[in-house]
Structure 1
Amino acid sequence: MIKKLTLIAALSLPLGLIAEPAVSAELSQYTAGRVQRAHNLQQDEKLDEAIGLLEGLTPSRDYDKAYVQRMLGVFYWQQNNITKAISSLTEAVNSGLLQDEQAWITQRMLADILLSSEEFKQALPHYYALTENIPENQKADELWLRIAQSHYQISEWKKTISAINTYAKYAGEMGVEPLTIKLGAQLQLQQWKAALPTLEALIVLEPNKLVWWQQTAGVQLRLGQSKSALDTLALARRQGVELSQQDLKTLAQLYAQRGIPERAAILYSQLEGAESDVELVVLQAQYWQIAKEWDKSIAIWQQAAKLDNQYRWQLAQLLLQQGYYQQAITELDKVSGNKHGADVALAKVRAHYKLNNVEKAIIFAKQADNIESSSVSKSWIKYLSQKREMSS
C-alpha cells in the first residue's frame, strides 16, 4: 500500500492582500488612518511595528475588526507566526463582512495555511466554499487537488477519488501527484481493477520508477492475472528497470508456473548469492530438472551437495536415473544419517546391478531388508539370488 503522502503546500503570497490600498471607504476614519500607517510600515520592512500598531487597535465597528484581522493575518503569515495567522484569518473570514474583491483570496490563504499546517479537517470547509464562486483569474483544478489531498490525509478514500475526478475535469491530463493520490485511495478501497489504469498512466509518466511496475504486477496477481503479472515484470526488466531480488524471484516463479522452468532457473542463477545461498542453488537445480536439462541439473545438485550434504541424496538419485552408476555409488556412500537408509541401500542395489556386480547388489539388498524389510527388498534378494545361481 502507498504510504500517506507528505504534503508541502506551496503557498504563494497573496500579493493583492499585501499591496492593496490600505484604506477602504467602509472603514471608519480612525481605523483607516491606522491601517494606512501599518501598511506603510510593512512596505518599509518594519513588520514588527506594523503588527504592533494593528494589535493595539480596538475597533468598535465589526467591519473594522474584520478588516484589521485580515491584515494582521497576512502580516503574521509573513512573520511565520502560523498559529496567529490562522486565528486572525479565521476571524476575518467567519465574520462574513469582507465582501470586497480580496475576500476570496483571504479565504484561499486561510485554507492553504491550514493545509500546510496539517489541519486537514479545518481546511476542507474553506476549500469547498471557495469552489462555489471561483474568480476567472483563479484555477479550479488547484482547489480540487487540495481538497483531494485533505481527504486523503484523513483517510476519506471515496471522497478523495471523487475530488480527484473533479480535478481531472478541470485539469485535463493528470500528473504524477494527483495520480498517486488516486492510486493510494483505490488501493485502500481494494479497487484492484480500477487501480490498473491509474498505474498504467503512472508508468507512462515515470517509466523508470520501480514501484509502479511492482504495484502493477502485485495488483494483477491479486486479480489472478498471473500471465499479465509475468508480462509486466518481464517488460520492466527489458526496459532497463532494475528489479529487486524479490521481484526477480516472483518473475522466476511465474515463468515456472507458465511452464518455462528453464527461464526460472536462469533468473535464479542471476540473483545475488546464486552460487553460495544453498536455497537459491537448490531452486536452480530443481528448475533445471523440471526442464529435463539433466546434465545442468546434476551440475547444480553437485554444487548444492557441497554446500549442504543433505542434498547428496537428490544428486545420487539423478545420477542413477541418467545412468551414471559409478558416480551415483560414490555420492550414495556420502549420504549421511538414517533418513534414507533403506532407500540408499536399494539405490546401491540398482547401481551395482546395472554395473553387473551381482554379489555387491545382493549384499546391499540384504542390508536394505535388514534396515526396513519391504516387498521391494525381498524381490531384489530373490531375483538376484536366482540370477547368481543361474550364472554359477
Structure 2
Amino acid sequence: MMKRTFKMSAVALVLGAGAVLSAPAALAQSAPVVCPGYEKGKTTLVGERTGKKVQKAFEFYNEDQVNEALNVLYEIDPSDDFDRAYVKRFIGNLLAAQEGQGGKALNYLVESVEPKVLNDLEHSQTLKLLGDLSMQEEKYTDAIKWYNEWMDFTCKEDADVYTRLAQAYYESKQLAKMVEPADKAIALYEEPNKNPYVLKLTSYYERKMYPETVSVAEDLVRTFPQEKTWWSRLGFFYILVEDYKKGLSTLELAYMQGYLEKDSEIKTLAQLYQSNGMPYKAAKLLEKHMKEGLLKNDADMIANIANAYHQAKNFKTAANLYAQAAAKSSDPEHYRKQGTLLLVAEDYKGAIKALENALERGAENPEKIHFTLMEANFYAGDFRSAYKHVQEAKKDRSLRRNAAAWEPYIKEKAKNRGINI
C-alpha cells in the first residue's frame, strides 16, 4: 500500500476541519454521516492556547519541516478532551506520511478516536485512515475492525473500502467472509474494477469451490475481455471442473485473439484438441510453435507431435517424427514406436531397422519387439528371420499363444516358397 499524504489548510488545523465545512463553499460536500435521522451536531473548535501552538506546527509543516512540526505538537499538553484528541490526530496524520512510522501513527490515531470527541468529519476520516494504516502495517484484523467501525459510524458504502475489507479478510485467512464485501464493491464501482472480482475468485478457488470459481472467471472475461490472462485462466478452470468442451472453445478463442503466449497454454490447447478428437490440429499447433521457438525442439516435444499424428492416423509422418526424436534421445522406446508405425505403414524394411535399433539399445519387454519383428519380417518375405523372432516372442507368457499360432503359418509360407527353416 502506498504511503498516504495528509495536507490540511491552516484554517482546518487551527480551528478544526468542522469550521471549514461550515463555509459556504463547502456546503456542497457530502455529509460525513448519512445515517437515517442523523443531525449534524455543534462544531467543536480547538481552544485558543492549543490553536496558537497548532498554528506554529502548521507553519513548520507548510515549509516541509515535518520533524519540527512534530516537536511542537509533542510539547502540547492540552487539558481539554477535544484539544487532546485533535492534537493526537494531527500527530498521527503527520507520522502516517513518514516512512516507517505507521505503527507509531496508529497509536496516536487510535487515542484520538477512542474518546469519540472529534467532530464527525474528523472522526469518520480517522476511522477510515486507521483501516488503511492497519492494512499498511499488515494488521489485518485491526483493519477489518476499523473499516467496519467507519461504515457503522457513517452509514456509507464505499467500493474501495469494501475491496480493502475483502483483502483484509483474505490476508487474515477468513476466506468465506471475502465474498460479501467483494460483491458490494463490484456493485458500487461506477467503472468496473477487476480487484474485487479477483478477490472473490480467490476466495472460491482457495476453498476448492471450483464451479463458483468458474462463474467468477466467466464474469471477469465478460467484463474485461481485453485482459488476456483471464481467457486462459477460464480455460484452465473449465478443465478443473472437467468441462473440456468449454475449456477447448475458450482457449481456442483466446488463441485466435493472440492471447495465448505461454508454452503451457499451447500445450494445454493441444491436449484439449487431442482429447476432443482433433489430434491433427494438435499436431499442427505443436509443430508450428516448436518451429517458432515457443516450444522446445527436443526429443520429448517431437515425440508428443508424433503421438498426435499417430492418433490422426498419419502413420508415416508420425514414424518420421519418432525417428527424429530417437536421433536426439537414443531412447529405445522412440525406436520401437517408429518401427511399429512403419509396420502399419507397410514399410517393412524400415520397421525392421527401427525395431532392431530398439533391441540394441536395451528396450523393455524385448519379447514384444521380437513379436513385431516377426510380423515385419514375415510381410517382408524373410521367413527364416520371422521364425527366429517368433521363438523369442514365445518366451513371454502373455505372447506365447499368439506366437505359437503364427509358427505353423510361417513354416507353411516358407515351405510354399521352397525355403527350409
Same fold (TM over 0.5): yes
> C-alpha displacement at 1:312, in angstroms?
2.7
Bigger shift: 63-72 or 252-261?
A: 63-72
Separation of aligned partners in 1, 2:275 and 2:319: 22
Question: Displacement, 1:83?
Answer: 3.1
Instruction: Identify the residue that residue 96 of structure 2 maps to in structure 1.
Output: 77
Change (3 A) 1:324 1:39: closer
Counterpart in the other structure of 1:178 = 196
Give the counterpart letter for 2:204 in structure 1: Q
CA distance in 2, matches of 1:321, 1:211: 43
Report how far residue 101 of structure 1 moved: 3.6
Query: Which letter maps to 1:11?
Result: R
Cα pair 2:166 2:178 within 8 Å, conserved: yes
Verify: 1:120 aligned to 2:140, yes or no: yes
What is the distance in 2 between the residues matched to 1:65 and 1:127? 24
Give deviations 1:33-87, integer Å, cap 9, x for gaps.
Answer: 3333333443454433332222112222323321221222223334553333222
Distance 1:148 1:378, change over 3 A: closer
- 1:108 pairs with one of 113, 128, 131: 128
Secondary structure class of the residue paired with 1:132? helix
From 336, 349, 354, the equivalent of 2:379 is 354
- 2:14 is the counterpart of 1:22: yes
Partner SS for 1:118: coil
Equivalent-residue separation in structure 2 for 1:370 and 1:142 (angstroms): 76
Structure 1 residue 142 corresponds to structure 2 residue 168: no
**Partner in structure 2 of residue 51 of structure 1:** 70
Q: In the aligned structure 2, how far is the partner of 1:119 from the partner of 1:228? A: 41
User: 2:66, 2:94 within 8 Å by CA — same for their partners in 1?
Assistant: yes
Cα-to-partner distance string for 1:134-164 (whole Å, 9 max, x where unaligned): 38xx872232222222222212222221111
> CA contact under 8 A between 2:342 and 2:348: conserved in structure 1?
yes
Alignment equivalent of 2:4, drawn from 11, 30, 33:
11
Report whether the alignment pairs 1:320 with 2:343: yes
Residue 271 of structure 2 is aligned to residue 253 of structure 1:
yes
CA drift at 1:300? 1.7
Separation (CA, whole Å) in 2 of partners of 1:109 and 1:275: 51
**TM-score w.r.t. structure 2 length?**
0.78
Q: Is the Cα contact below 8 Å between 1:104 and 1:130 reproduced in 2?
A: yes
Offset of 1:11 from its aligned partner? 3.3
One-letter amino acid of the counterpart of residue 129, structure 1: E
Count of equivalent residues: 379
Task: Give SS of 1:323's match.
Answer: coil
The Cα offsets for residues 259-280 of structure 1, whole Å up to 9 and x where unpaired, read as 1111222233234487842222
- Tell me the equivalent position of 2:29: none
What's the counterpart of residue 354 of structure 2? Answer: 331
Q: How big is the shift at 1:349?
A: 4.6
For 1:236, the aligned partner's letter is A
Further displaced range: 260-269 or 330-339:
330-339
The answer for unaligned runs of 5 or more in structure 2 is 17-43
Q: Which deviates more, 368-377 or 30-39?
A: 368-377
CA-CA distance at 1:239 after TM superposition: 0.5
Q: Secondary structure at the match of 1:241?
A: coil
Q: Distance in 1 between matches of 2:393 and 2:209?
A: 59
Q: Does the residue aligned with 2:114 lie in a helix, a strand or coil?
A: helix
Which of 106, 125, 128 in structure 2 is aligned with 1:86?
A: 106
Aligned partner of 1:230 in structure 2 is: 248
- Residue 302 (structure 2) pairs with residue 281 (structure 1): yes
Pick which of 193-202 and 382-391 moved more.
382-391
Separation in 2, partners of 1:380, 1:297: 28
After superposition, the Cα gap between the structure-2 partners of 1:367 and 1:42, relative to the gap in structure 1 and judged at 3 Å, is: closer
Q: What is the deviation of 1:111?
A: 2.5
Closer, same or farther: CA 375–15 of 1 in aligned 2, 3 Å: same
Cα deviation digits, residues 106-128 of structure 1 (max 9, x gap): 32223322222222222222211
> 2-side partners of 1:45 and 1:330: how far apart?
85
Q: Over the residues paired in the alignment, what is the CA RMSD in angstroms? A: 3.1
Q: Deviations over 1:316-341 (max 9, x none)?
A: 23223332233333434434247565
2:86 equivalent among 43, 67, 90: 67
Instruction: Determine if contact 1:343/1:368 at 8 Å carries over to the other structure.
Output: no
Equivalence for 1:95? 115
Point out where structure 1 has 5 or more consecutive residues left out of the alignment.
1-7
- TM alignment of 1:188-199, pairs within 5 A: 188-199=206-217
Equivalent in the alignment of 2:51: 32
Counterpart contact for 1:288–1:296, Cα < 8 Å: yes
1:302 maps to which residue?
A: 323
Q: Is the 8 A contact 2:251 2:269 kept in 1?
A: yes
> What fraction of aligned residue pairs are identical, expressed as a percent?
22
Query: Are the aligned partners of 2:14 and 2:51 in contact in 1 as well (CA < 8 Å)?
Result: yes
Q: How does 1:128-167 map to 2 (within 5 A)?
A: 128-134=148-154, 140-167=158-185
2:390 pairs with 368, 376, 391, which one? 368
Distance 2:363 2:77 in 1: 96
Deviation of 1:353 after TM superposition, in Å, equals 4.1
Shift of 1:201: 3.4
Deviation at 1:28, TM superposition (A): 4.3
What secondary structure sits across from 1:224 in the alignment?
coil
Indicate how the Cα distance of structure 1 residues 361 and 104 shifts in structure 2: closer, same or farther if over 3 A, else same.
Answer: same
Contact 1:14 1:105 in 2 (8 A): no
Q: Is residue 88–residue 111 contact of structure 2 (8 Å, CA) maintained in 1?
A: yes
* Shift in Å, 1:342: 4.7
The answer to whether the 8 Å contact 1:346/1:365 transfers is: no
